[in-house]
Every structure is written in C-alpha cells, then in structure tokens.
Amino acid sequence: MSATAPGDYVIRSIRADEWPALKELRLRALRDPLAHLAYLETYDVAAARPVSFWQERAAGAAEGASGARQIVAEVPGGMWLGTLTVLVEEAGTTDWAGFSVDRRQGHVVGVFVRPEWRGSGLTKALFDAGLEWAWASGLERVRLIVHPDNERAQGAYRKAGFAPSGRTVPLVGGPGDYELEFVLER
C-alpha cells in the first residue's frame, strides 16, 4: 500500500466504543520525538490512566457529541493513521489558559499523523474534515496553539490555512515559556 495513494484511508468521526484505538494512537503520539513540544502530557502519565479515562475521552468527542469532535484517518483493517480533535469554546467563557473567549470558536488539539504518512496530504485531509464539522456546528473561527520550536507542526498548520494571530499563550510548567496561537477565520 502506498502512503500517498488517495483512497487508501477514510476520514471519519470516532465512535464512543473505539477508546482502545484512541488510546493506542495517543500513546504512539506521545512517543514521537517532538511530543515534548506538541503535547501537554507525557507518555508515562497517559499510559497510567485508567480505562474509564479513555472511555470518557472517546465518548466526549465521538459522533453525536456536541462539545468536541475527534476525527481520524483509518485504513482497511482498522488501524488509525492520524487524528485531530476540535473542542468547542463558548463565547463568554474562559479558556484553559485563562483568556476570555469572545466568540464561539473551535480549538484544535491532539494533532498526530503516523510518521510514514506525513507529507502525504493526510494532515490536510484531517484538518478539512475537522473544519467542515466546525463550520457545520456554527463555530466562527478555529484556533490552535503551537510551540515556537515545532516548525514541522507550524508548516502543516499553515498548509491547512491557519496563520499566526500574534497572540502568545503562556505555558506555566510546559515545555517552554509560551506557545503561539494560529487561527483560521470562517
């Protein structure tokens, strides 16, 4: 199977009962050489989480959930090649970093594509599906944060249409002092 041949995978929302695949791909992502720049948890912390955590995580972002949607690329046989999640942030609330949310928006988190599929267009396809869900859900913009040293991710996000907003997000206890916010307006 060629990693770049279109049609080798399907892009879809996860189902609540797919928590084992969600866990496997998340743990794989946390072993990536740039995981310390890309994720706010470590492999050891995630691997120690109980089954109930993974079940709740899958249910909260599965088909039919309104506050989040996890999108995956899957090959025949069931292996997940990549994923991203769009969290809904409601206007009038405060986000995880303490900033006021001025309008209903999406926040992309947990982006990961298996190394052998990077550069194949898969990341863009995942973003296209996530954005389609965001716009259909009435979100006014979508954002994400990225470490300034994670140039690989920044390149993928720019290809998906995101641009730096100029806002920096402090990361107390994170892999650096701050991260950069990238946005895509509807």
pLDDT in tens, 32-69: 999 988 898 999 999 999 999 999 999 999 999 989 99
CA distances from 89 to 4, 16, 17, 60, 151 (A): 34, 21, 25, 14, 26
* pLDDT-based confidence at residue 123 (cuts at 50, 70, 90): very high
Mean pLDDT of 77-96: 94
Mean pLDDT of 75-85: 94
Give the pLDDT confidence score for residue 172 in this predicted structure: 67
Mean pLDDT of 16-45: 94
Give the pLDDT confidence score for residue 174 in this predicted structure: 57
Give the pLDDT confidence score for residue 7 in this predicted structure: 59
Cβ-proximal residues to 141 (8 Å cutoff; 6+ apart), any chain: 103, 105, 106, 183, 184, 185, 186
Give the pLDDT confidence score for residue 175 in this predicted structure: 56
* Rounded Cα gap, residues 170 and 96, in angstroms: 11
User: In whole numbers, what is the pLDDT of the chain averaged over residues?
Assistant: 91
User: What digits encode the pLDDT tens for the residues 143-155?
Assistant: 999 999 999 999 9
Range name among 7-16, 49-58, 132-141 with the lowest pLDDT average: 7-16
Structure tokens given for 167: 């806002």
Q: CA-based angle 146:147:148, to the nearest 5?
A: 110
Whether residue 26 has pLDDT greater than 70 = yes
Rg for the chain (alpha carbons), in Å? 16
Whether residue 97 has pLDDT greater than 90 = no
Strand partners, 89: 105
Q: What is the pTM of this model?
A: 0.91
Q: CA-based angle 41:45:147, to the nearest 5?
A: 10
The more confident residue out of 95 and 57 is 57
Mean pLDDT of 157-161: 94
Mean pLDDT of 108-119: 94
Give the pLDDT confidence score for residue 37 in this predicted structure: 86
